[in-house]
Amino acid sequence: MSLFSPLFFLTMLPLVAALFIMVGARAQFVARWTSLLMLGLTLALVFQYRVAEGGFQFISRFQVADELGISLSFGADGLSLAMLLLAAVITMSAVWVIPPIKSRENLFYACVLLISAGVVGAFSSIDVLFFYAFHEVALIPTFLLIGIWGSGDRQAAAWKATIYLGLGSFVLLIGIIGLYLAIPSERTFDLLRIQELAQAGTLNPPHWVYWTLLIGFGTLISLFPFHSWAPQAYASAPAPAAMLHAGVLKKFGLYGMLRLITPIFPESIGNTRIPLFGFEIRYLDIFLILIVGNLLYIGLVTIAQKRLDWMLGYSSVMHMGYIFLGIAGLNQLSLSGASILMIAHGLSIAALFALCGALRERTGTVEFSELGGLARPMPRLGLLFGFATMAAVGLPGFANFPGELMVFFGAFGATNHVPHGGFDAIQIVTIIAVWGVVISAVYMLRAYRSLFFGTLPERWNGLSDLAPVPRYAVILLIFVLLVIGFHPQLVLSYVTPAILLP
Amino acid sequence: MAPQTASWIILFLPIFMAAGILFFGQRSKFVSSGLAIAGAGIACVLSWMLFIQGADLVVSTNWINLGRLDSPVPFTIPIGLSIDALSRPMLVIVTTIATLVFIYSTGYMAHEEGYCRYFAGLALFLFSMLGIVLANNFVMMFIFWELVGVSSYILIGHYYSRDSAGDAAKQAFIVNRIGDFGFMLGILVFWGVTGTVLFSELPGRLDAFHGASGWLAVACVLVFCGTVGKSAQFPLHVWLPNSMEGPTPVSSLLHAATMVAAGVYLLARIFPILQHSPDALTVIGWIGAITCFGAGLIGLQQNDIKRILAYSTISQLGYMVLGIGSAPVSGVAMFHLFTHASFKCLLFLCSGSVILGMHHEQDIWKMGGLKNKMPITFLMMTIGGLALMGCPGFSGGFSKDLIIEFAYTKGPGWFWLAAGGVFLTALYTTRMLWVTFLGAPRSDHAKEARESPAVMVIPLILLAIPSALAGWPFIQKHFFPIEEPVGVPGWVGFLIPGIFAAGVALAILIYRGAPQKDPVLIPFFANRLYLDDLYAQIVRFVQDGTAKASSWTDRWIIDGVGVNFSAKATWACGFALRFLQIGNIQAYAFFFGAGVIALLYVLISK
């Protein structure tokens, strides 16, 4: 079979550009045009995709090891395309906000493009092994970016992220292998085949596979309590790395859950009861407790942060709670909401990290106590930060709102106990999640208040406002957030048909 | 123009204007204010047109639609506009007052910075409020509800370099969000039980509660939480007085026709549902009664002219909410909303005129003797004050009496709180007028004050007309249908004007002459019943305390012991030590390699 799917070219584009840059091409020029080309190509694919037909399209398969069922295969359905578009938009923005790099500029740009190549490859792979491998490809340059160009205690941050994500991936790999071994009388890593078997009910993977996949993906997404790598890594990562990781790479785990957990494991697995401290609790309840950790506990931790970069890092951990809740809801509505939220969170956190980076570049500090009144010297940065803040708190008009709304409705409607006998566990967690909206308003608005309102310290009088190029790079993110926020059906018409239920 | 088109234009014109101001307003002040006023003005004309046509209408389109899929939870959320007997007069009130305030703002803000931002904020505010008025379902209501919150955030924080403005804006947004928490849960319960969020379908589907009226009451009270936040009812009223940090025309808009009125409008909108839950109405009535009395107490001892008006707003909103809780039709509360919108807008714009004349001095104890310096403002503010106090013959008198009489039919507690509120209102309003305009000037600014320009004075005169007359039946009957309470004894009708007169007389007795400072000092009232301090302590100790504790746990237990300690323990075993020396990537490569080996092992063994 052929290798030549447009998706193959889309994956190769940043990879080849990165190689060119490594061997000495003009880094900024090549990277910027590559990102533009990627966005154009992705948009072309989105429009080429036949929505009415649905399913995976642009499929290509290249046998690597036939007897083992491994092949380098590409294909995309509505959900993959949405994620690819997210990746392209954020790559574009991340490449264009890169400030002048003092040392090893070419390596920096190459790393950024390599992350992009990894995520694009992962989202367009329909072979589970390559899906996994592309993610690994994206992780290595992330560590390099943190370790070489990071701020603060960058070595420690890079080291911790390496160990942590490495272990997480390892657990994930065990899970994937477990899934592979569970396939009866066949050897295949083909996602379509696995999903087909699972939907037909002929695939019954053992319970430990569920847990390794959940914890493996969970670690990569910073599921409580496997989250502590995230704030530190994001705080010291340079802005483009934080944008790409928090914005896109982290969504790999969520995307993986939507591909490998929700369609494959029967709904009954969540209701399996195990004894714990004398109670009989369900698997689902354990997941829900961890979600509460993400929403409530991490939410409170976020409030206590004294620096913008740490706060944003923790806030991105907290917001994963909503998406997990959508996944736990296990219905079309909540999963569609989770998908929209993946995109929305990626765009809004990328915008915030970009602006945080611009701020750090100017002031050298992101301590709340040292900043204030910055809207006066930097009205444009202030305005854009305001937009991103409002997106992050889930204001209607931004994509985050329909996502959260659908997650709340979907999770609340996952069971129907009202008014017969009080709330179900998932409904109680939904209530906590709704309260999470208040928590995120508290920390985001406090941050905005202490950065941009109030009196301007003398020494920040002469700060320059955001330059046009990074400004438009952030405006691009905000623009997409607004488009989806006003018209979520655009995304839903692609994503919802691609969502498979157990 | 077809009414369908008109209603879409009314809703979306202001947001287009806001976007236009954002893009083009930087260039000139004229463009900013021109676009905003044009948006409001056209919406106003179209609203009057719809009002006069008087036709009911629903236009709707799906915003989110998962219905066509084979989904276990069929889900559509429409964006629908309903033009009906409730929304038509409300549209007229909102757009008319907005237009007047926008025009007035061109005078008030003429020399202020951030002119373009200000008008963009006003246009966004109008858009959000119109969305609430037109919404035909809960979710759309919630969407615009939140947008009202953010518009107020922008406008209250207009003078962003002042710390107090930043804090006030943040507080307004967060307190409203706390109310919205309840609102959202209420929507979820209604949807979870009945499967619809449409206002028109809900009353018919309440059977789904299976007579479990407890749940219905819970859902209603949860939705009411939204009102408590937005309409500044006790105990979430604290943001409203602080919102006075915004420019005065904003306060006027906020307090008259937009933000705070939204809460009452929501209750009126869901009144057909509330009627099925007497328990919920009891809760609502009590909150209203407590608010109208409590805010009056605090208002007695405020010295900032805008804060006095702010507490009067809270108190009057309390009456409206009480009206919802006690009357059999929502028109009673809406009638007071209507009269209040005109006289409170008038009062705020008058206070703005005073403040501008006083060079941004807001302390009434620095004013005095302004009667001769600003005669028109004085006259208009007196008309507004009389309407606020519920003087017989003025608009507020009609609507407030009606609510108090309905409160009487529901029990003595509500009645006496409401009647006590009349006394307090008369007392603090007379105090404010007397100290500001009569007696001798108490500062140089007061000696030099001058009347404001025509662009500001003309809206005052235009607003004074409805403030005086809007309560008379010949006007009222066109707006909201009301009923007369039955079984109210005749003495009630005499008692209320008597209480009003007693309040005025007591105020004159205390503040006659020209005292240099307040002869009466009641710290408990002046310090706002210490509620603000209580909340500050709760935030500081409960919220920030648990936040700090969680942060500590995260850093030292989860990350410290759980991650770093285990990592160190692993290194102690020796085998990982080498990676430390070699570096990160090699360590990573090890894990990857180990994975591949494991993979190969199982692949081969299968």
pLDDT of residue B69: 45
| Residues B403 and B322: beta-carbon distance below 8 Å | yes
Longest dimension (CA), chain B: 103
Q: Is residue B543 part of a domain?
A: yes
Chain A residues with CB-CB distance to B548 below 8 A: 304
Select the residue of A225, A397, A456 nearest B161 (Cβ to Cβ): A456
| Residues B420 and B293: beta-carbon distance below 8 Å | yes
Number of domains in chain B: 1
Cα–Cα nearest to B262, from B166, B402, B104, B143: B143
pLDDT of residue A157: 82
Contact B214 A419 (CB under 8 A): yes
B contact residues 540-579, partner A, Cβ 8 Å cutoff = 543-544, 546-548, 550-551, 554, 558-559, 562-564, 567
DSSP, res B31: H
The first and second tokens of residue B305, run together, are: 């002219």
Using DSSP's 3-state secondary structure scheme, residue B79 falls into strand
DSSP notation for A130-181:
HHHHHHHHHHHHHHHHHHHH--SSHHHHHHHHHHHHHHHHHHHHHHHHHHHH
Q: Is residue B318 part of a domain?
A: no
Decide if pLDDT at B588 tops 60: no
Half-sphere CA count of B319, side-chain side, radius 13 A: 33
Select the residue of A298, A402, A430 nearest B64 (Cβ to Cβ): A402
pLDDT of residue A257: 92
Select the residue of B210, B547, B558 nearest A304 (Cβ to Cβ): B547
Separation of alpha carbons A268 and A210, rounded Å? 12
Chain B residues with CB-CB distance to A140 below 8 A: 585, 588
More reliable by pLDDT, B257 or B139: B139
Contact B65 A489 (CB under 8 A): yes
Chain A residues with CB-CB distance to B191 below 8 A: 409, 412-413
CB pairs under 8 A between A and B: 202
Tell me, yes or no, if A51 comes closer than 8 A to chain B by beta carbon.
Answer: no
More reliable by pLDDT, B518 or A390: A390
Distances (CA, A) of A391 to A252, A486, B63: 22, 12, 19
Decide if pLDDT at B73 tops 60: no
Q: What is the pTM of this model?
A: 0.91
pLDDT of residue A416: 61
Decide if pLDDT at B597 tops 80: no
The first and second tokens of residue B410, run together, are: 């529901």
Using DSSP's 3-state secondary structure scheme, residue A422 falls into coil
Separation of alpha carbons A424 and A498, rounded Å? 28
Helix (H) or strand (E) holding A279: strand A279-282
C-alpha B103 chain-centroid distance = 22
Tell me, yes or no, if B139 comes closer than 8 A to chain A by beta carbon.
Answer: yes
- Chain B closest CA to A434's CA: distance in Å? 6
Separation of alpha carbons A290 and A284, rounded Å? 10
Residue with tokens 């069929």: B74
Decide if pLDDT at B582 tops 50: no
Give residue B507's pLDDT band: very low, low, confident or very high (50, 70, 90).
confident
Decide if pLDDT at B566 tops 70: no
Q: Is residue B421 part of a domain?
A: no
Chain B residues with CB-CB distance to A441 below 8 A: 173-174, 177
Contact A163 B587 (CB under 8 A): yes
pLDDT of residue B235: 87
Q: Where do the H-state alpha helices sit in A183-307?
A: 191-200, 207-221, 229-236, 239-244, 251-256, 283-292, 298-303
The torsion defined by the Cα of B48, B51, B55 and B60, in degrees rounded to 10, comes to: 70
Contact B550 A300 (CB under 8 A): yes
Separation of alpha carbons B182 and B236, rounded Å? 12
Select the residue of A390, A402, A497 nearest B150 (Cβ to Cβ): A390
Pairing of strands A279-282, A273-276: antiparallel
Tell me, yes or no, if B113 comes closer than 8 A to chain A by beta carbon.
Answer: no
Mean residue pLDDT across chain A? 88
What average pLDDT score do residues B578-591 get? 52
Q: What share of chain B is helix, strand, coil (3-state, %, to 5)?
A: 75, 5, 20
Tell me, yes or no, if B19 comes closer than 8 A to chain A by beta carbon.
Answer: no
pLDDT digits (tens, 9 = 90+) for A117-128: 999 999 999 999
Separation of alpha carbons A242 and B444, rounded Å? 57
Contact B177 A438 (CB under 8 A): yes
Q: Is residue B561 part of a domain?
A: yes
C-alpha B304 chain-centroid distance = 20
Contact B75 A376 (CB under 8 A): no
Decide if pLDDT at B313 tops 60: yes
Contact B144 A396 (CB under 8 A): yes
pLDDT of residue B450: 81
Give residue B595's pLDDT band: very low, low, confident or very high (50, 70, 90).
low
pLDDT of residue A243: 92
Distances (CA, A) of A109 to A36, A184, A354, B392, B588: 15, 45, 16, 76, 21
Contact B160 A373 (CB under 8 A): yes
Separation of alpha carbons B105 and B118, rounded Å? 9
The first and second tokens of residue A52, run together, are: 């009415």
Distances (CA, A) of A93 to A235, A304, A471, B274, B451: 19, 30, 10, 50, 54
- State the Cα angle at A436 between A432 and A439, rounded to 5°: 135
C-alpha A31 chain-centroid distance = 22
Give residue B71's pLDDT band: very low, low, confident or very high (50, 70, 90).
very low
The first and second tokens of residue A18, run together, are: 């990165």
* A57 CB burial (10 A radius; 0-12, 13-18, 19+): buried
Separation of alpha carbons B261 and A400, rounded Å? 27
Backbone CA torsion sign across B107, B112, B116, B119: negative
Chain B residues with CB-CB distance to A435 below 8 A: 181
Decide if pLDDT at B604 tops 80: no
Select the residue of A68, A376, A435 nearest B603 (Cβ to Cβ): A68
Select the residue of B142, B180, B595 nearest A170 (Cβ to Cβ): B595
Cα–Cα nearest to B123, from B23, B6, B27, B50: B23
Separation of alpha carbons B380 and B377, rounded Å? 5
Separation of alpha carbons A198 and A179, rounded Å? 11
- State the Cα angle at A28 between A25 and A32, rounded to 5°: 110
Separation of alpha carbons B440 and B515, rounded Å? 9
Using DSSP's 3-state secondary structure scheme, residue A72 falls into strand
Chain A residues with CB-CB distance to B166 below 8 A: 449, 453-454
Residues of chain A with pLDDT under 50: none
The percentage of residues in chain B with a pLDDT greater than 90, rounded to a whole number, is 16
Chain A residues with CB-CB distance to B546 below 8 A: 300
What average pLDDT score do residues B181-206 get? 87
Number of residues that this document lists for chain A: 502
Tell me, yes or no, if A333 comes closer than 8 A to chain B by beta carbon.
Answer: yes
The first and second tokens of residue A67, run together, are: 């007897």
Contact A454 B143 (CB under 8 A): no
A contact residues 74-133, partner B, Cβ 8 Å cutoff = none
Contact B602 A177 (CB under 8 A): yes
pLDDT of residue B574: 46
pLDDT of residue B68: 46
Tally helices (H) and strands (E) across chain A: 20, 4
Residue with tokens 């999963």: A335
Chain A residues with CB-CB distance to B66 below 8 A: 332-333, 336, 492, 496
| Residues B466 and B395: beta-carbon distance below 8 Å | yes
pLDDT of residue B211: 61
Q: Give me the domain span that covers residue B590.
A: 536-605
Cα–Cα nearest to B56, from B84, B88, B91: B84
pLDDT of residue B592: 62
Interior/surface letters A344-360, b for 16+ CB within 10 angstroms, e for the rest: bbbbbbbbbbbbbbbbb
Mean residue pLDDT across chain B? 84
Select the residue of A173, A297, A497 nearest B599 (Cβ to Cβ): A173
Helix (H) or strand (E) holding A64: strand A57-65
Q: Is residue B378 part of a domain?
A: no
- State the Cα angle at A357 between A400 and A485, rounded to 5°: 15
B contact residues 58-87, partner A, Cβ 8 Å cutoff = 62-66, 69, 71-73, 75, 77
Best residue of A262, A408, A453, A458 to probe chain B, by most B CBs closer than 10 Å: A453
What letter represents residue A85's amino acid?
Answer: L
B contact residues 186-205, partner A, Cβ 8 Å cutoff = 188-189, 191-193
Cα–Cα nearest to A411, from B583, B191, B595, B253: B191
Q: Is residue B568 part of a domain?
A: yes
Phi and psi torsions of A331, nearest 5°: -140, 170
Separation of alpha carbons B340 and A88, rounded Å? 53
| Residues B333 and B320: beta-carbon distance below 8 Å | yes
Phi and psi torsions of B160, nearest 5°: -70, -20
Q: Please, which residues have CB within 8 angstroms of residue A184's CB and are 6 or more apart in sequence?
A: A197, A202, A203
- Chain A closest CA to B546's CA: distance in Å? 7
Q: Is residue B491 part of a domain?
A: no
Domain residue ranges in chain A: 300-502
Contact B551 A305 (CB under 8 A): yes
Tell me, yes or no, if A167 comes closer than 8 A to chain B by beta carbon.
Answer: yes
Rounded to a whole number of angstroms, the CA Rg of chain A reads 22
Separation of alpha carbons B311 and B241, rounded Å? 7
